[in-house]
């Protein structure tokens, strides 16, 4: 369910709640302003020389893991598959909160998973400032404007 683009109009346009058509269904929450927008949440932070990686993730990850837990997972595990490892840690936590096991969640139909956890997308980008991150240690011919920053991406959608 992508609330930022379709559905949940009463969350996007509070004036809709005044329409008699919508009032017949009841107003779930009286709102004075929109609470769901297409405006992304953005945090700006100056990168420091000691920063080692960035974790970009949807709220599905952050609803289950703290910043500190996610950082510890990335610091203490191999790079390969690290985004998937973060997703699995979030799923383990979601399962624990519902008194389930991880394997139980895997067996739940994907359309029903929304009641257990939100969609989770994770991208981890390592900031190899002092290490060459080019394949074979060489820059490819005509690679100007490209980056070979090592990264790992994994996404899990609950409604698929």
- Domain positions in the chain are 1-40, 43-156
Instruction: Output the pLDDT for position 83.
Output: 93
Over the chain, what is the mean pLDDT?
Answer: 76
| Number of Cβ atoms within 10 Å of the Cβ of 99 | 7
Q: Which regions of the chain does DSSP assign to beta strands (E)?
A: 53-57, 120-126, 151-156
Instruction: Output the pLDDT for position 157.
Output: 60
d(CA 137, CA 103): 41
- pLDDT at residue 150 greater than cutoff 70: no
Please report how many Cα atoms fall inside a 13 Å half-sphere around the Cα of residue 101, on the Cβ side: 3
d(CA 54, CA 128): 11
Higher pLDDT, residue 124 or 5: 124
SS3 130: coil
Per-residue pLDDT tens digits for 60-91: 899 999 999 999 999 999 998 999 999 999 99
d(CA 45, CA 26): 43
pLDDT band for 143, please (50, 70, 90 cuts).
Answer: very low
Instruction: Output the pLDDT for position 144.
Output: 44
d(CA 127, CA 52): 5
Alpha helices in 34-110 (DSSP H): 59-62, 67-75, 82-97, 102-107
Per-residue pLDDT tens digits for 98-132: 898 888 888 888 777 877 888 889 999 998 765 54
Dmax of the chain from CA atoms? 66
Per-residue pLDDT tens digits for 6-62: 556 667 777 776 777 766 666 666 677 776 666 777 778 888 888 999 999 988 899
- pLDDT at residue 145 greater than cutoff 60: no
């Amino acid at each position: 369910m992508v609330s930022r683009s379709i559905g949940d109009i009463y969350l996007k346009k509070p004036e809709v709640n005044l329409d008699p058509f919508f009032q017949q269904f009841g107003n779930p929450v009286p709102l004075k302003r929109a609470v769901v927008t297409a405006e992304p949440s953005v945090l700006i932070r100056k990168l420091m020389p000691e920063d080692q990686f960035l974790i970009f993730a949807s709220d599905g990850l952050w609803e289950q893991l703290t910043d500190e837990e996610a950082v510890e997972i990335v610091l203490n595990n191999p790079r390969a598959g690290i985004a998937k490892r973060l997703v699995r840690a979030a799923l383990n936590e979601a399962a624990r909160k519902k008194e389930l096991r991880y394997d139980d969640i895997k067996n739940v139909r994907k359309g029903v998973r929304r009641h257990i956890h939100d969609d989770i997308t994770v991208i981890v980008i390592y900031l190899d400032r002092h290490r060459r991150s080019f394949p074979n240690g060489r820059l490819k011919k005509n690679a100007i404007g490209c980056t070979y920053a090592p990264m790992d991406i994994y996404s899990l959608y609950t409604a698929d």
